[in-house]
């Protein structure tokens, strides 16, 4: 912006740029060695519980939640993403492989309202989806491959406005526009799980999940790369 003065028009002043900080909302390090708790390192009280035989094992960093593929999962508090709009959800995942439609995470209230990330869908690729109207109303992203098996992989999904992006080991593997639903629009959720699906017929996750994080706001590509590199 410039101003007119007695000596002519002044130079443009510096433009103000709004910077929206990314806020860590939930952080399950899963570093416990015993018990059924997965503490939230943010101090926000979003503690997880290991259910159905889930245990602690050596993870990508410290320990991790180990899920047996038959009954084990991690349960988070009710309505854990009810205050989340734009987001970044990230985790280190060691997948043993298996059938399609297992879940890395699935937050919802049954098969009508949910958001989830699967390492492999029926088409053989990773998929993130969110809906308030069952699978017929799903909006989401398909990646370009399934999650690798037998190794640690870093996955991250972001939603900025109506644009969603799926990231694997620091590289974008899929994006989509028109994702008009945000987590808070999903409404009250009492089934917020790592490793388990809203759909009873879907298999449980077999492997380990470590460093599970939810952020309010969208991390840049450089910030996600920093997560992968541990910097």
Q: Output the CA torsion 104→66→154→172 (10° steps).
A: -20
79 within a domain of the structure (yes/no)? yes
Residue 7: C-alpha distances to residues 3, 10, 12 (Å): 11, 8, 15
Would you say 179 and 140 are in contact if contact means Cβ atoms under 8 Å apart? yes
Domain range holding 62?
23-229
What are the structure tokens assigned to 65, written together?
């939640």
Q: What is the pTM of this model?
A: 0.90
9 within a domain of the structure (yes/no)? no
Cα–Cα dist 120/103, whole Å: 9
12 within a domain of the structure (yes/no)? no
18 within a domain of the structure (yes/no)? no
Would you say 49 and 119 are in contact if contact means Cβ atoms under 8 Å apart? no
Domain count, the chain: 1
pLDDT tens, the chain, 231 aa long: 444 555 555 555 444 434 458 999 999 999 999 999 999 999 999 999 999 999 999 999 999 999 999 999 999 999 999 999 999 999 999 999 999 999 999 999 999 999 999 999 999 999 999 999 998 899 999 999 999 999 999 999 999 999 999 999 999 999 999 999 999 999 999 999 999 999 999 999 999 999 999 999 999 999 999 999 987
7 within a domain of the structure (yes/no)? no
CA atoms within 13 A of residue 137's CA, in its CB half-sphere: 13
CATH code of 161's domain: 2.60.120.200
**Can you name the residues that pair with 155 across neighbouring β-strands?**
91, 168
pLDDT tens readout for residues 18-76: 445 899 999 999 999 999 999 999 999 999 999 999 999 999 999 999 999 999 999 99
Q: DSSP for 113-128, please give it.
A: SEEEEES--TTSS-EE
221 within a domain of the structure (yes/no)? yes
Sequence-ordered list of residues with C-beta below 8 angstroms from that of 114, at least 6 positions apart, any chain: 106, 107, 108, 129, 130, 131, 186, 189, 198
8 within a domain of the structure (yes/no)? no
Reported in sequence order, the residue ranges of 59-190 that DSSP labels E, i.e. its strands, are 63-68, 73-75, 87-95, 105-108, 114-118, 127-131, 139-142, 152-160, 163-168, 171-176
């Amino acid at each position: 912006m410039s101003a007119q003065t007695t000596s002519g028009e002044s130079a443009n002043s510096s433009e103000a740029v709004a910077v929206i900080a990314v806020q860590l909302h939930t952080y399950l390090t899963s570093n416990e060695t015993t018990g059924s708790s997965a503490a939230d390192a943010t101090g926000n009280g979003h503690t997880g519980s290991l259910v159905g035989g889930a245990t602690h094992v050596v993870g990508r960093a410290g320990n991790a939640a180990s899920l047996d593929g038959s009954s084990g999962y991690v349960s988070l508090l009710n309505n854990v993403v009810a205050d989340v709009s734009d987001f970044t959800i990230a985790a280190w995942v060691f997948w043993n492989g298996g059938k399609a439609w297992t879940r890395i995470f699935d937050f919802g209230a049954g098969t009508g309202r949910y958001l989830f990330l699967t390492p492999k869908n029926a088409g053989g690729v990773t998929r993130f989806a969110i809906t308030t109207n069952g699978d017929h109303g799903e909006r989401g992203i398909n990646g370009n491959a399934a999650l690798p098996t037998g190794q640690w992989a870093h996955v991250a999904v972001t939603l900025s406005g109506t644009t969603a992006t799926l990231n694997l080991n620091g590289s974008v593997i899929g994006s989509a526009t028109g994702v008009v639903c945000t987590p808070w629009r999903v409404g009250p959720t009492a089934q917020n799980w790592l490793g388990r699906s809203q759909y009873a017929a879907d298999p449980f996750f077999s492997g380990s999940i470590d460093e599970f994080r939810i952020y309010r706001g969208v991390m840049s590509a450089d910030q996600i790369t920093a997560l992968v590199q541990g910097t």
